[in-house]
């Protein structure tokens, strides 16, 4: 992917009315455009009150101009920011003046793309920009800022450096077997490979935790009518989100509410009760329940503890969805049975006894939801990396190659295969920061950005 030499411009603030609106312009030489719009050449990196002019020299607006000459700018090119009044009409008028002076409208993410292509940031840092914008919790935002500062990238670079060093010795001995090269013994190769694998495991765990902070967890409530699904949703949300009545089938459509547990966004979906029905509307609701189950990260199956649904019927409900994902069984309405909140484990399956009406046992459920997706409550965001799905896939690929490489350590006759596995592990890690990547990957990543970034 090549950097085009043209000038790009865009409105960098959200659509709508506001006190301030910003036009961002970037290109290899903005002196002429800057001179015609401002009527002067501003001092570098100094905020100056200026008038913004049209092609006839008439004042369009007035505000703050900031000029960042290359290479000391966000994109690595000349960058001009015009901070004027935040009305849509005035912003569009000012943007059109930039376009008339030779700029073109920027594509989504093109400013950050140019920053990456000009080596101002790596690919992880570029993706952290959108992670910060999309962060739904303060914990996720802080984690994304750490990635933007390069913490995740430096960790990956350290792993790549360890792999490079190990590959250097192995491939040197393969290429120059007759030379007197101080090589490695088999035990040393195994030890160094284990060290790299252990560090990668720690990075993968931190990345998984950070991914949960960013993406959250989709939790779907299922069960027969009138078992308390809507009451449970209201308890989790700490608000009356769903209508609660004693009439079975009250909930006929899926209701979604996002809550936060330990800083993790939890997308809770209350679904229609599962039962045989001739009601067309209710049937549609049950169909939506089945669709929600397929996309769920965790299923919470509610049972009326007063009825004590038979185990074989309980399994029939779960098997009807071909469930192969974490699920928690809740025995609700313990307040009617004079029972205490508790957790029971049966063959690694979790059962929580609680009351969605009184709130008794809700803390137990929140704890089990986090455990079901592997969240470690004793970790802090300072040790996490804001990882996207492609990062996790690359980390898993690197780990698979390292695990395969271990089988080739014992015999020098297999060292060519060992070297190849190490190379593929290194490539997988390098693709995270963009050292090794494909143009179509870049296009996919930066297309997710908003205009002006």
Residue 58's CATH number: 3.30.1360.120
The model's pLDDT over 363-411, given as tens digits with 9 standing for 90+, comes to: 999 999 888 877 876 555 556 778 888 999 999 999 999 999 988 887 7
Please indicate, yes or no, if residue 415 is contained in any of the structural domains: no
Same domain? 282 vs 150: yes
Q: Which domain holds residue 385?
A: 133-396+425-434
The answer to whether residue 450 scores a pLDDT higher than 80 is no
Please indicate, yes or no, if residue 452 is contained in any of the structural domains: no
140: CATH: 3.40.50.300
Please indicate, yes or no, if residue 402 is contained in any of the structural domains: no
User: ω before 71 within 30° of 0 (cis)?
Assistant: yes
DSSP one-letter string for 211-251: HHHHH-EEEEEEESTTSSHHHHHHHHHTS--S---SSTT--
Same domain? 325 vs 253: yes
Please indicate, yes or no, if residue 158 is contained in any of the structural domains: yes
Q: Beta strands 349-353 and 327-332: pairing type?
A: parallel
Please indicate, yes or no, if residue 296 is contained in any of the structural domains: yes
The model's pLDDT over 249-259, given as tens digits with 9 standing for 90+, comes to: 444 456 788 88
Same domain? 63 vs 211: no
Neighbours of 49 (CB within 10 A): 8
The model's pLDDT over 89-137, given as tens digits with 9 standing for 90+, comes to: 999 999 999 999 999 999 999 999 999 999 999 989 998 888 888 887 8
User: Structural domain tally of the chain?
Assistant: 2
CA separation for the pair 48, 80 (Å, rounded): 12
Sorted by sequence, the CB contacts under 8 Å of residue 75 that are 6+ apart come out as 26, 111, 114, 115, 118, 120
Same domain? 380 vs 353: yes
Please indicate, yes or no, if residue 175 is contained in any of the structural domains: yes
Q: Which residues pair with 2 in a beta bridge?
A: none
Same domain? 243 vs 364: yes
Same domain? 82 vs 230: no
Contact criterion met (CB below 8 Å) for 8 and 106: yes
pLDDT at 269: 86
3-state secondary structure of 41: coil
DSSP one-letter string for 350-398: EEEE--TTT-TTHHHHHHHHHHHTT--TT--GGG-----HHHHHHHHHH
Same domain? 151 vs 260: yes
The answer to whether residue 295 scores a pLDDT higher than 70 is yes
pLDDT at 2: 47
Q: CA nearest 328: which of 342, 304, 313, 349?
A: 349
Same domain? 186 vs 65: no
Instruction: Output the pTM of the full model.
Output: 0.72
Mean pLDDT of the chain: 82
């Amino acid at each position: 992917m090549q950097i085009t030499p043209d000038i790009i411009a865009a409105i960098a603030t959200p659509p709508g009315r506001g006190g301030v609106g910003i036009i961002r312009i970037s290109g290899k030489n903005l002196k002429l455009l800057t001179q015609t719009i401002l009527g002067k050449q501003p001092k570098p990196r100094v905020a100056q009150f200026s008038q913004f002019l049209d092609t006839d020299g008439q004042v369009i607006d007035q505000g703050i101009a900031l000029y960042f000459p290359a290479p000391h700018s966000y994109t690595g090119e000349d960058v001009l920011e015009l901070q004027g009044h935040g009305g849509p009409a005035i912003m569009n008028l000012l943007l059109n003046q930039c376009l008339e002076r030779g700029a073109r409208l920027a594509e989504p993410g093109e400013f950050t793309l140019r920053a990456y292509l000009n080596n101002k940031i790596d690919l992880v840092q570029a993706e952290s920009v959108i992670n910060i914008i999309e962060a739904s919790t303060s914990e996720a935002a802080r984690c994304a800022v750490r990635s933007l500062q390069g913490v995740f990238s430096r960790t990956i670079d350290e792993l790549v450096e360890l792999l490079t060093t190990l590959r250097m010795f192995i491939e040197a001995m393969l290429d120059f077997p007759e030379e007197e090269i101080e090589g490695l013994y088999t035990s040393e190769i195994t030890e160094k490979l284990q060290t790299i694998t252990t560090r990668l495991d720690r990075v993968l765990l931190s990345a998984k935790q950070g991914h949960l902070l960013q993406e959250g967890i989709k939790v779907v409530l299922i069960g027969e009518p009138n078992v308390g699904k809507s009451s449970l949703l209201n308890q989790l949300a700490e608000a009356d989100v769903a209508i609660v009545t004693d009439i079975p089938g009250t909930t006929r459509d899926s209701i979604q509410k996002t809550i936060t547990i330990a800083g993790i966004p939890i997308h809770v979906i209350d679904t229609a009760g599962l039962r045989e029905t001739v009601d067309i509307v209710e049937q549609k609701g049950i169909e939506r329940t089945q669709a929600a189950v397929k996309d769920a990260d965790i299923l919470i199956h509610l049972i009326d503890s007063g009825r004590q649904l038979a185990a074989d019927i309980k399994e029939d409900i779960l098997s009807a969805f071909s469930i192969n994902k974490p699920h928690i069984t809740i025995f609700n309405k313990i307040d009617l049975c004079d029972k205490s909140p508790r957790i029971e484990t049966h063959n690694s399956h979790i059962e929580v006894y609680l009351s969605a009406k009184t709130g008794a046992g809700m803390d137990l459920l929140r704890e089990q939801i986090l455990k079901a997706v592997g969240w470690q409550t004793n970790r802090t965001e300072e040790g996490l990396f804001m990882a996207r799905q492609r990062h996790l896939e690359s980390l898993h690929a690197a780990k698979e190659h390292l695990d395969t490489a271990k089988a080739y350590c014992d015999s020098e006759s297999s060292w060519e295969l060992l070297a190849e596995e190490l190379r593929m592990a290194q490539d997988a890690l390098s693709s995270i920061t963009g050292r090794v990547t494909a143009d179509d990957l870049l296009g996919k990543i930066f297309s997710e950005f908003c205009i002006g970034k």
